[in-house]
Amino acid sequence: MPSPRELIKAATDILHNNEVGREGHVLDFWRSIEWIEHKTQVLKSHAELSRTNDAYVNLYPSLTKQPDGVLLVLREFGIFLKAKGGERAERVWENKLTTPDSADIDVLADKLRDPAVRAKAATYDDVIATYPEQGHAVQRLIAIHIVNALRLHHMPYADSEGVDIKTWGPSTEFATGRKCFSLNPLMAYVPRDVCDCFGWAFAEFIVNNCDCVVETSTRYAFKKVVRQVVQRSA
């Protein structure tokens, strides 16, 4: 069984090999943590950040018996990072906020002007239905947001072919990445513990590249959310 110090060393190495983990402020925070080893198991926890979010983590004897010891250490550090980000980080995490990629906007724009799609689609809902269920969940969600804006501003589907959704007023901010949307409707693709706890999300991001997120577009967008929270901790 690895000792607590060996687990910390392994976690340090993983952070240094990860693009986000080796960001300057992340490593500074990591080096600031005091790891306090306890000889007796006074709590059920294997590792626990200070309950006041100060820069120390309690390590209990059961930690060394866990197969995911490195993940547990990084989980507590992730909780510390989010606390450092304050209300801004909390808002991003709780709402799973991210922005659409330009390529995702282009997919919908292409569909709205594609003669082959329009030959089969009589409504906006028909266009949305052309998105495959697997691998395109985020693109579909983005399309729903834009279609809702088109409907809200009384743009008939028949007239939408010539609309440039990146410059059309009601959708400009969203379509150009200046307005966020929530991934919460897609959290069924994310394990509950990873969805509920940023510490677990951070650990999974650093160690496993969020492979636990079973839908590919959701995995990519979820990783963007994790990055945003980390950036707000700077």
Give me the sign of the Cα torsion angle 117, 120, 216, 22: positive
Q: What is the pLDDT of residues 206-217, one digit of tens each?
A: 999 999 999 999
Cβ(225)–Cβ(183) under 8 Å?
yes
For residues 183 and 229, what is the distance between their CA atoms, to the nearest angstrom? 14
Give me the pLDDT at residue 133, please.
79
Residues 61-74 have a mean pLDDT of 97
Helix, strand, coil percentages, rounded to 5, for the chain: 60, 5, 30
Mode of pairing for the β-strands spanning 34-37 and 56-59:
parallel
pLDDT tens across 100-110, in order?
999 999 999 99
Tens of pLDDT, residues 133-162: 789 999 999 999 999 999 999 999 999 998
Q: Give residue 59's pLDDT band: very low, low, confident or very high (50, 70, 90).
A: very high
Give me the half-sphere count of Cα atoms (radius 13 Å) on the Cβ side of residue 203.
22
- Cα separation, 205 vs 70, in Å, equals 13
Q: Full-prediction pTM beyond 0.75?
A: yes
Average pLDDT along the chain: 96
SS3 57: strand
